[in-house]
Amino acid sequence: MTTRYRVEYALKTHRRDQFIEWIKGLLAVPFVLYSQPHGIFEYPPSSPELGTSPPGSPNPILIKAREEAHRRYAEILHDVELMIDDHIAHQNDPDNPFPSKLKLLVPSIGPFFTRLPLEAAFKFQDRKRYISSRRFVSPSFNDVRLILNSAQLISVTSTTPGSTLQLATFDGDVTLYDDGQSLEPTSPVIPRLLDLLRKNIKIGIVTAAGYTSADRYYARLHGLLDSIATSVDLTPVQKRSVIIMGGEANYLFQFDPASEHLLSPVPRSEWLTAEMLLWDDRDITQLLDIAEAALADCIETLNLPAVLMRKDRAVGIIPSPPHIRIPRESLEETVLCVQKILELSSAGRSKKVPFCAFNGGNDVFVDIGDKSWGVTVCQRWFRDPETGRPIRGENTLHVGDQFLSAGANDFRARSVGTTAWIASPAETVELLDELGELMGKKMS
């Protein structure tokens, strides 16, 4: 049952993705006009134009309604697709001072790295989810999110010059494994990741989990690392095409079959970008001190069952005792509160050091840097094999679960590459199957 409370909660701006809500609104119109809820009451089904059908045969009223809804949904998504093309043309024309139509309609819209074939993606998802067949439930947030994911996959595997996937980056918790869990050897995601490597796609695991030593990452990712190590068909180069970017953008490890934990740490001097080299340790400490004080305040004010955890590049609150649930509202209040305090502080206003405050499901962390930096490091580490330059945004796909603007750490990756928004490890598996199928079609 959807309570009034839940409805209002979902309406809060930090819980909404404006672009998805806007598309949902557009699709709601044909849903209202063309879905035929009364069709199920008519038995035997009949209509003036279609006549009466014998019992047990498909209801012609419903078939017609479905076809009509499908046609209208597809048309709308085609029109949105054209609007995105126009937005891309605006974004590629520095001399045009005017915003695109899409920007006017959805002010929070950001840059697009590729076009999005939404009509084709809708047709694909409609075959899977029977969106047009529904008469009581309109196209939902999840329908639109999955259509956008499919469109992104079609685009990064299309035959248009320049649009081939070279780098796939993955968030950890909720994307590769359940929250707080590890990538076990039996996980169905592992063979799909190995398949990407076989297709010479580089893999970066860009996680907020920040550990300074390889054993901790091995503990979380051993299923994948062991499978790569024992694989007999991956070449040494393909095996070395896996890196872990931990703490958002703070610790880099490369797969290394000769290391005890199959990972060797890469010194910062080898991968920090020119901008990251400017992050001064004193500024980092100052920022984390402010964050720590703000988090301590929240523990007090909201009476949170939590304790502080300070690291060299992060500070957070974790549940205490460890298995107690912190209320979702308290987690979000804490994120928004700490984020505001940091933004308004002198350290935050100077913008010398970027940070990311987010709700990790049952904890809150403030990390130095964010996933836009983490994915950027992966793009520079692997480089485009043809040009030798960093892998471009249109050749990168980041898969994650946190994409709502405030307090969502995968959201930041959107500024440097294409993204797919999943809601569970099972959805990641489905997404990788879809990707594998599209890549297979392209190769054949």
List interacting residues with ligand IMP (CB under 6 A).
171-174, 207-210, 247, 311, 314, 316, 360-361, 363, 365, 367, 409
Residue 47 DSSP class:
E
Task: Find the shortest distance in angstroms from Cβ 178 to Mg ion.
Answer: 10
Provide the binding-site residues for Mg ion, judged by CB under 5 A.
171, 173-174, 401
Q: Residue 157 touches which of ligand IMP, Mg ion, none (CB < 5 to 8 A by kind)? A: none
Element (H, E) at 298: helix 281-301
Round to whole Å and give the CA distance between 244 and 176: 13
Cβ closest to ligand IMP, residue 265 vs residue 361: 361
Task: Considering the complex, state which of residue 171 and residue 363 has its C-beta at the smaller distance from Mg ion.
Answer: 171
Cα 148 to Cα 122, 124, 134, 141, 420, distances in angstroms: 8, 11, 20, 11, 8
Shortest distance, position 217 Cβ to ligand IMP, whole Å: 11
Q: How far is the CB of 190 from ligand IMP (least distance, A)?
A: 17
For residue 236, say if its preceding peptide bond is cis, omega within 30 degrees of 0: no
CA distances for 151 relative to 147, 368, 373, 442, angstroms: 6, 32, 25, 15
What is each CA distance from 147 to 127, 283, 415, in whole angstroms?
Answer: 11, 42, 20
**Cβ closest to Mg ion, residue 66 vs residue 145:** 145
Task: Name the minimum Å distance from CB 332 to ligand IMP.
Answer: 14
Catalytic status, residue 410: no
Cα dist from 289 to 178, 285, 293, 347, whole Å: 31, 6, 6, 10
Among the listed residues 17, 126, 143, 173, the single catalytic one is 173
Q: Which does 209 bind (CB under 5 to 8 A by kind): Mg ion, ligand IMP, none?
A: ligand IMP
Is residue 173 among the annotated active site residues?
Answer: yes
Q: Which does 363 bind (CB under 5 to 8 A by kind): Mg ion, ligand IMP, none?
A: ligand IMP
Q: CA 189 → CA 186, 213, 240, 265, 432, distances in Å?
A: 9, 24, 19, 24, 8
- When CB distances are held under 5 to 8 angstroms depending on the partner's kind, the choice from Mg ion, ligand IMP, none that residue 311 binds is ligand IMP
202-206: strand order across its sheet: 263-266, 251-255, 242-246, 202-206, 167-170, 396-400, 418-421
Handedness of CA 419, 189, 325, 313 (dihedral sign): negative
Point out the catalytic residue in the list 143, 171, 367, 401: 171
Cβ proximity to Mg ion, 100 vs 402, nearer residue: 402
Nearer to ligand IMP, 88 or 290 (CB): 290
**Least separation in angstroms between CB 279 and Mg ion:** 24
Which residue lies nearer to Mg ion by CB, 143 or 173? 173
Residue 314 contacts which entry, Mg ion, ligand IMP, none (Cβ below 5-8 A, type-dependent): ligand IMP
CB of 401 to ligand IMP, least distance (A): 7
Q: Which value, in Å, is the radius of gyration of the alpha carbons in the chain?
A: 24
How many other C-beta atoms are found inside a 10 Å radius of the C-beta of residue 444? Answer: 5
Tell me how crowded residue 185 is: count the other CB atoms within 10 A of its CB: 10
Question: Which of Mg ion, ligand IMP, none sits in contact with 409, Cβ below 5 to 8 A by type?
Answer: ligand IMP
From ligand IMP, Mg ion, none, which one binds at residue 420 (CB under 5 to 8 Å depending on kind)?
Answer: none
Q: Tell the burial category of 57 from Cβ atoms under 10 Å away from its Cβ (0-12, 13-18, 19+).
A: exposed
Of the two residues 180 and 436, which places its CB atom closer to ligand IMP in the complex?
180
Closest distance of CB 65 from Mg ion, Å: 39
The answer to whether residues 119 and 74 touch, using CB atoms and an 8 Å cutoff, is yes
> How does DSSP assign 156-195, residue by residue?
HTSSSTT----EEEE-SBTTTBSTT----TT-THHHHHHH
**Tokens describing residue 51:** 């006549």
Residues with catalytic roles: 171, 173
